A and B are shown apart, each in its own frame.
Chain A
Amino acid sequence: MIDWGWLAGHLDAIAYRTWQHVYLAALGVAIGFAISFVLALAAARYRILYPPISALAGILFTIPSLALFAALISITGFSVVTAEVPLVLYTLVILVRNIVAGLDAVPVDVVEAADGMGHSRRQRLWRVELPLALPLIVAGLRLATVSTIGLVTITGTISDAYGGLGYFILDGYHRGNFLTEMYAGAVPSILLALGADLLFVRAQRRVTPWAQARATEAAA
């Protein structure tokens, strides 16, 4: 079934595509996070902005990614922009919602106490609200990263230059269901996604020492 010879001969190609996969995903999430952070802060501050942003995000979220990639090809050609824009957009969609939800989840009395003690708006945001919103933000990052890793495989439909590990899936298919190659793409990409998920689960735990304290207290 599996052509080990082929695998042995293509190790560096696999390595390259793995690196490309990580690179494309990381870039998409990073840019998406930066933009969504700004948008979320704006939406949290000026509440009227939120419904339109949320609605737009909802619509975008529903549209199948292949459609978005395909649409962009006509506009931005076969460049990395075509690959990255949907990745960024989909990350945005998840993170804006999560960041706003995180900020909303901060208990009202904590906010009032912070104000009452004399925090300026900015101090309150950075010292109180964001740290408490962190769990939901990290959860959002986790979802966004895992999703983006999946999406990178589809960037292969744009051109052979992209796709990360998805390149092998598509190429193998076009060679007439060449299973070894398809699996060489599919399996590592799944492992990559699961690995990232695990990393974020750890990060989520690290980020909330106070939740851990409560857990040990409850156990004691």
Chain B
Amino acid sequence: MPDQAARGAAIVEYQHVSKSYASARAARGAPGAVNDLSLTVPAGKICVLVGPSGCGKTTSLKMVNRLIEPTSGRILIDGADIAGRDATELRREIGYVIQQVGLFPHQTIGANVAVVPRLLGWPAARQRERAEELLALVGLDPALYRDRYPAQLSGGERQRVGVARALAADPPLMLMDEPFGAVDPIVRERLQNEFLRLQAELAKTILFVTHDIDEAIKMGDLVAVMQVGGHLEQFAPPAEILAAPASEFVADFVGADRGLKRLSLTRVSELALQPVVTARVGEPAGDARTRTLADPFPYLLLLDASDRPIGWVSQGHIPATGSLAASLATPMSPLLDRRTTLKDALSMMLDADVQTGIVVDRTGRLRGVLTVEAIAAALRPGADPEVIASAASAAVPADPGASAGGTSAGGTSAAPLSGADA
């Protein structure tokens, strides 16, 4: 028995839900129809319905707030069949965001945001307060936007208002139908990121429809891939969809570059970093030279007094005597932090034409080094972080600017290296 979700997030359950249209009842592949959909969306998670046009994803979404009624099957919210409730009342408890937003052009932004509270009979002062709170939440200055009209706003601003409006009555469940589809890619990315930030705070249950697999992977905690005719092909976390597509359709829909897509799901912090020989400026060069020669990797990483990386020194260029000078080093590798996705890391390394990236913490201090091999190892199906770590250290970290070399044991170094820790 699914327990009531904590902190006002609902559990949504589809039980053998089907929708067929009279004329297409015979044809199972009819666009817009839904065929025996069963899935459960846990509380506080974003579940993305994704698929090509006509796969029934929007129809499935609209059956939750009963804008469309199922032909058969049940939909439960927190264990209660929605068919038993008054549709109008039900909708006031569900946030609804559509692609064209549908702001009321004849009302101010403030009034638009407060629509559902007004329908619920909230006192005017509380309506206004809530509207301002929400506008601030979605990044719009209430003083500036409250009294404007929708026609005066840009597409991105209107989308934000649409989200604010859906959140107004603090619903436990939100339905979003291609909410970011009508804006350009730059605005879309910003809106997606901000929405994820919002969701981290609010933890509502979200049902999200999109036709864009990249958006599904980025936004979803769970992804439901649907096929034309309303058939559910796979329902799993995005990593699993990418690593183990359940059918050829899913594999095709995800795209031949799903390996690369997986890279965007993993962050540097999830991989074990590699050791590298380091030394600080001013330290005796001879000692550094000895250590570097002993290490299979022919480069020294020069750090400043605060352990911040300055650049690489090839072993042949380390003087036998004297102390290390900053001028010896050549900065070649990109600096990565823990939150960088592997996809971005790989991209940066390719741009710099190197095989190694330097991982630093928030203050810029060295944490370790990441190689292209380590990233490739992470891509293998069933890749385990522990396995990755040992595999990576077993391989020789190649020249920052050269191709891969042989194998050797991990060397000693002065810099503290760590795996995935805070």
Contact = CB atoms under 8 A, between A and B. Distances in A.
Q: Direct contact between A and B in the complex (CB less than 8 angstroms)?
A: yes
Interface in A93-141: 107, 109-120, 123, 128, 131-132, 134
B195 interface: no
A217 B151 contact: yes
A110 B98 CA distance: 10
B364 interface: no
A28 B332 CA distance: 86
B151 A109 contact: no
A156 to B, nearest CB: 42
B198 to A, nearest CB: 19
A213 B108 CA distance: 10
B102 A210 contact: no
Nearest to B99: A109
Contacts, number: 76
Contacts of B91: 115-118
Interface string B259-283: 0000000000000000000000000
B96 A117 contact: yes
Contacts of A109: 98-102
Interface residues of A, number: 25
A109 B148 CA distance: 20
Nearest to A208: B106
A117 B119 contact: yes
A209 B319 CA distance: 78
Interface string B26-69: 00000000000000000000000000000000000000010100
B152 A214 contact: yes
Contacts of B303: none
Contact of B116 (A112, A117, A208): A117
A165 to B, nearest CB: 38
Given A123-B119, A210-B149, A214-B152, A118 B92 contact: yes
B89 interface: yes
Interface string B84-121: 00001111110010111111111100000001100100
Interface residues of B, number: 29
B90 A110 contact: no
Secondary structure class of chain A's binding surface, majority of residues: helix
Given A119-B119, A213-B148, A213-B149, A114 B102 contact: yes
A44 B93 CA distance: 29
Nearest to A215: B151
Contacts of A209: 149
Contacts of B99: 109
Contacts of A217: 151-152
A116 B98 contact: yes
A118 B149 contact: no
Nearest to B89: A118
A112 B65 CA distance: 12
Given A210-B106, A217-B152, A112 B98 contact: yes
Contacts of A110: 102-105
B149 A131 contact: no
Nearest to A111: B102
A111 B104 CA distance: 9
B115 to A, nearest CB: 6
Contacts of B103: 110, 113
A217 B149 CA distance: 10
Interface string B209-232: 000000000000000000000000
A214 B106 contact: no
Interface string A187-220: 0000000000000000000001111011001000
Nearest to A217: B152
Interface string B104-147: 11110000000110010000000000000000000000000000
A119 B165 CA distance: 14
Contact of A213 (B100, B116, B152): B152
Nearest to B91: A118
Given A109-B100, A213-B149, A217-B151, A117 B105 contact: no
A132 B90 CA distance: 26
Contacts of B98: 109, 112-113, 116
A106 B240 CA distance: 44
A16 B227 CA distance: 76
A211 B359 CA distance: 54
Contacts of A116: 65, 67, 91, 96, 98, 102, 175
Contacts of A134: 106
A128 B96 CA distance: 17
Nearest to B102: A113
Contacts of B151: 210-211, 213-214, 217
A132 B100 CA distance: 17
B136 to A, nearest CB: 21
A118 B116 contact: yes
Contacts of A131: 106
B106 A117 contact: no
B149 A107 contact: no
B88 A118 contact: yes
A129 to B, nearest CB: 10
5 contacts: A107-B100, A109-B100, A210-B150, A213-B149, A213-B152
Q: What 8 A-B pairs are tightest by C-beta distance, nearest first?
A: A113-B102, A118-B92, A118-B91, A116-B96, A109-B100, A109-B102, A214-B151, A210-B149
